[in-house]
Amino acid sequence: MKLYQENNKVIIDKIKDFEPKHIFECGQCFRWDKEEDGSYTGVANGKILNVKLEGDTLILDNTNLDDYHKIWHNYFDMDRDYSAIKAELAKMDEHLYNATIFGQGMRILNQDTFEIVISFIISARNAIPMIKRSVAFLSKALGEEIGEYRGKKYYAFPTPKALSSCDEQVLIDSKVAFRKGYIRDASYIQHSLQMDMYKLRNLPTDMARKELMTIPGVGPKVSDCILLFGLSKYDVFPVDVWVQRVMHEFYIEKEMKDLKKIREFGIDMFKDKSGIAQQYLFYYAREKGIGRK
DNA sequence: ACACAGGGTCAGC
DNA sequence: GCTGACCCTGTG
């Protein structure tokens, strides 16, 4: 692996376990879009980045080595050995083997805690394209304009202050619908520091989870997603309709509908790799339509 | 056309 | 612990 800068690109030769499609389309993030040339452009930490894989060369455009080390290295979870994780999961059974092969190159991004809280509140009983639409609308309406890339303007995710004090009409127009009260209240909780969601990182998973569940619009499933995608906790197992289906298909009787028990089953099975296992299974199930009637 | 479900959560029994 | 309502939109 060789890392170097060329103009405004950071290039990594001989990259392993990095497949942009699987990273950006596995359902963990909502601010990355595919360009016509197959690359992906998105916003994180107030910066615009374009990502393209050519063979085993990763090209990060619109950035520099300084930002790579400060932001993107951690954002893309570069220090984690996904080959080792995949190998461990794949040897458990044929389903995990298939799911890890299918999702090869998927990585769990380290995303901003508050952005993940709001995004996954929006995700409840919603479809992924609509979640992306709402998040894009709110960012454009309330977020700071951070620059232009390939002729398009980009906006940072709104601050807690902006989201907690905006006109109700903005939330209505964003189509977050019945979730608008949750978003305003959750944003105020962070803005007022009634709870500092960023500090939950320092708590054990179960305590952080208990805290998250006090936020309006945050239940068992959304809190697990926040822990996994926004707080770097991997001993969680978010159970949504797809994980439910894939678990019924592969591991447990269909009569077992108690989501709490399915979650405990997953954590018991996958331990400290539950979150990552869940993401391989979720992506595999959703792309293949496993269990859909 | 129109019912149904989409990365669930909450309030009211 | 269960059950229905919740906004809006794409899908069949």
pLDDT in tens, chain A (293 residues): 899 999 999 999 999 999 999 999 999 999 999 999 999 999 999 999 999 999 999 999 999 999 999 999 999 999 999 999 999 999 999 999 999 999 999 999 999 999 999 999 999 999 999 999 999 999 999 999 999 999 999 999 999 999 999 999 999 999 999 999 999 999 999 999 999 999 999 999 999 999 999 999 999 999 999 999 999 999 999 999 999 999 999 999 988 999 999 999 999 999 999 999 999 999 999 999 998 86
Q: Are residues A256 and A174 in the same domain?
A: no
Nucleotide minimizing C1' to CA distance for residue A281: B7
- At A292 the pLDDT is 81
Query: Nearest to residue A241, comparing CAs of A92, A96, A126?
Result: A126
Longest dimension (CA), chain A: 58
Other CB atoms within 10 A of residue A185 CB: 15
Residue A51, beta-bridge partner list: A40, A60
Indicate whether A168 and A203 sit together in one domain. yes
Query: Tell me, what's the pLDDT at A155?
Result: 98
| Chain C nucleotides reached by a protein CB under 7 Å | 2, 6-10
Angle at which helices A220-230 and A259-270 cross, to 10°: 30
Distances A145 to A51, A77, A91, A104 between C-alpha atoms, Å = 20, 26, 47, 34
Predicted confidence at residue A269, as pLDDT, reads: 97
Which residue reads 């980045």 in tokens? A49
Q: What are phi and psi of A105, to 5 degrees?
A: 90, -5
Residue A120, nucleotide of least CA–C1' distance = B7
**CATH of residue A47:** 3.30.310.260
pLDDT of residue A196: 98
Query: How far is it, in rounded angstroms, from Cα A84 to Cα A61?
Result: 28
**How high is the pLDDT of residue A1?**
84
- Relative orientation angle of helices A94-102 and A274-288, to the nearest 10 degrees: 80
A119 and A214 share one domain: yes
Give, as one character, the DSSP assignment of residue A158: P
Question: Do A154 and A208 share a domain, yes or no?
Answer: yes
Q: Output the domain CATH number for residue A259.
A: 1.10.1670.10
- The answer to whether the CB of A106 falls within 8 A of the CB of A19 is yes
B5 C1' closest Cα residue:
A125
CA A253 to C1' B1, in angstroms, rounded, equals 37
Q: Which domain holds residue A256?
A: 83-97+232-293
Q: Which nucleotides of B are covered by protein (CB under 7 A)?
A: 5-10
Evaluate whether residue A196 is within a structural domain: yes
Question: Nearest Cα to A114, choosing from A27, A198, A228, A211?
Answer: A198
A:214-273 Cβ neighbours of strand B under 7 Å: 215-223, 225, 238, 240-243
* Co-location of A157 and A129 in the same domain: yes
Cα A262 to Cα A268: distance, rounded to the nearest angstrom: 10
Cβ A211 vs Cβ A195: under 8 Å:
yes
Shared domain check, A213 and A236: no
**Please, are residues A193 and A120 in contact by the beta-carbon 8 Å criterion?**
no
What does the alpha-carbon distance between residue A217 and residue A171 come to, in Å, rounded to a whole number?
A: 15
- Taking CA A28 as the corner, what is the angle to CA A188 and CA A253, rounded to the nearest 5 degrees? 110
Same domain, A134 and A152: yes
Is residue A6 classed as helix, strand or coil in its secondary structure? strand
Nearest nucleotide to A178, CA against C1' atoms:
C7
Give chain A's domain count: 3
Do the domain assignments include residue A281? yes
Q: Which nucleotide is nearest to A238 (CA to C1')?
A: B7
Question: Are A264 and A210 members of one domain?
Answer: no
Q: What are phi and psi of A101, to 5 degrees?
A: -65, -45
